Amino acid sequence: MSISVELVSGRGRDWWPRPGRVFAAHRQHTFAQLADAVDVAFGRWDRAHLHVFVLPAGMDVSWASWRAGPAFRNTRDGRSARLDQLRVGERFAYVFDLGQDWTHLCTVRSPESPTVDPSLPPAPVRGWGDLPDQYGRGRPDDEPEAVVPRGSSALLDDLPPILPCWGPRRAA
- What residues have CB less than 8 Å from 124, skipping those under 6 apart? 21, 22, 23, 37, 41
For residues 119 and 6, give the distance between their C-alpha atoms in angstroms, rounded to a whole number. 25
Check: CB of residue 10 under 8 Å from CB of residue 165: no
pLDDT given for residue 56 in this prediction:
83
For residues 145 and 161, give the distance between their C-alpha atoms in angstroms, rounded to a whole number. 29
Enter the DSSP assignment of 23: E
Domain boundaries, the chain: 2-156
pLDDT given for residue 150 in this prediction:
60
- pTM score, whole prediction: 0.88
pLDDT in tens, the chain (172 residues): 999 999 999 988 999 999 999 999 999 999 999 999 999 999 988 777 788 999 987 778 887 666 677 777 788 888 899 999 999 999 999 999 888 899 999 999 988 766 788 889 999 999 999 999 877 777 788 877 776 666 557 888 999 999 988 988 655 4
Q: Which CATH fold would you assign to the domain 2-156?
A: 3.10.290
pLDDT given for residue 172 in this prediction:
47
Enter the DSSP assignment of 125: E
pLDDT given for residue 148 in this prediction:
64
Helix, strand, coil share of the chain (percent; to 5): 10, 25, 60
